Amino acid sequence: MPIIKNNLYHALTTETITKPVSAVKLQLDVLDGCKHKCPGCFVHRRGNSSDEEQFKDAIKFVDDIASRGILIDEIIIGPTDFLSSENFYEVMPHLVDMINEHSPILAFITTLIDDQLEPWVKWLGESINLNTEIEIGIAIDPYKFQNQINYVENIKRKLNYISDNVEHDVVYTFLLNIKDYGLDYLELHEQAVKEFTTTIDFIPSVSRSAKPNITLATVDKFNEYFNILAVGDKINNIMVDHSHAGMNYTVLNYKKGTWWLSPFLYENMVVENDIFKIETFDDVAPVMESQLERAKGTECETCPMLFSCYNRKIILLRDYLGVDRCIAPKENMINNMYNYDGPAQEMYDWSGYTPEADKNGYRKKFTLTDDTNNEELERIKGIFYT
């Protein structure tokens, strides 16, 4: 099945808060080994994989969530490049049944540098239900992406191979670890849109450093850039789209038997700190609700973005970082407060939706896998706020 043709427009228009379901997204740190040195990456290359008992407990944890009528909307296998991982094919047999039973989306992270696609394509076809949508996050070096033709052409070749050989529906975005690169991010993003018809997601990998001062300084610097962007720039799409990471979605991080809530600032963050730790899914609500008390007496209490940050656990993140001031690109978020409410409503018609239908291919109604339906492609292009 080719890579879907309306990839860009789904990446630019979130579905989350419009979707009539309570859902959980899982980020599973289970892979060891990576030979790449992506700029701004703080991922641990070793010590991620679970033992057999931890895998069993993790599956029970996920089964408990699903038994409550909550959709396991997406499972991300990480944290390292799966094509460079040393234990991918040892780990995945523990997880395949859980994925096939619960999740309509399976996501991977890669640089697409390694020539290991053929065995992965074979494994995918033999192991994962065809109704499962495959998402690929492609980590890039921004300097090479802009300046090295061979680097870009390699990505195109690998994507063509995936499109020609994978039977599942496939979507992809680029991932750029947040760092002060001294580059024009609008120009970089426009290159991704024009050459690959997809977006760049900005990844706060620095949160994995376990050093709040470094994380705060990195985020503050990035906020300076985003706060002066013009209203409606497509590069804004995820951070200022207040329906993304909405109240009906919970993101959980997992590693070696432990679960944490994931705060969202530019993208989902991994912070292995007790402020985000949960023992059971019942712990989620009280940890979330604690943010209202934490906001009292600070600028967050009266901010028009309070509940956007509440839903994204940014108030918890603020306290972890050790400050009582705003840590988000507030000016930009306020400027775009009303720009993203309508597009998701138009993009997604959820009639007949059930979580069970979602696990059995419901999302295919939103994907175009060939160029014949140009009218629908043009309709989708016209929806996104410009």
Domains present along the chain, CATH in parentheses? 7-342 (3.20.20)
| Res 103: pLDDT | 92
DSSP 18-72: TSSS-EEEEEEE---------TT----SSS----HHHHHHHHHHHHHHHHTT-EE
Residue 342 pLDDT grade (very low, low, confident, very high; cuts 50, 70, 90): low
* Lowest model confidence (mean pLDDT) among 85-89, 252-256, 264-268, 369-373: 369-373
Mean pLDDT check: name the lowest of 6-20, 121-135, 206-220, 352-366.
Answer: 6-20
Handedness of CA 35, 169, 175, 277 (dihedral sign): negative
* Range name among 125-139, 190-204, 303-317, 327-341 with the lowest pLDDT average: 327-341
Which of 167, 74, 154 has the alpha carbon at shortest distance from 111?
154
Facing residues of 249 across strands?
Answer: 23
Residue keyed to tokens 């730790």:
277
Of the pLDDT bands very low, low, confident and very high (cuts 50, 70, 90), residue 386 is very low
Q: List the alpha helices (DSSP H) in the chain.
A: 7-12, 52-67, 88-91, 96-102, 117-127, 142-147, 149-165, 185-196, 212-226, 284-295, 306-311, 314-320, 330-335, 341-347, 355-358, 374-383
What band does 280 get if pLDDT is binned at 50, 70 and 90?
very high
* pLDDT higher than 70, residue 341: no
Check residues 364 and 83 and name the one with the higher pLDDT: 83
pLDDT digits (tens, 9 = 90+) for 11-47: 666 666 778 889 999 999 999 999 999 999 999 999 9
Lowest mean pLDDT among 37-41, 47-51, 242-246, 318-322: 242-246
Instruction: Say what the alpha-carbon torsion angle 233, 239, 243, 246 is, to the nearest 10 degrees.
Output: 170
Q: Is the pLDDT of residue 3 over 90?
A: no
65-97 tens-digit pLDDT: 999 999 999 999 999 999 999 999 999 999 999
Would the pLDDT of 379 be above 70? yes
Mean pLDDT of 176-182: 95
Mean pLDDT rounded to a whole number for the chain: 90
Out of 15-29, 192-206, 290-304, give the one with best mean pLDDT: 290-304
CB–CB of 107/75 below 8 Å?
Answer: yes
Report CA Rg, the chain. Answer: 20
Q: What's the pLDDT at 366?
A: 81
Q: Over range 300-307, report the average pLDDT.
A: 95
Task: State residue 51's pLDDT score.
Answer: 97
| Between 350 and 109, the higher pLDDT residue | 109
Residue 265 has pLDDT above 80, yes or no: yes
Q: Is the pLDDT of residue 349 over 90?
A: no
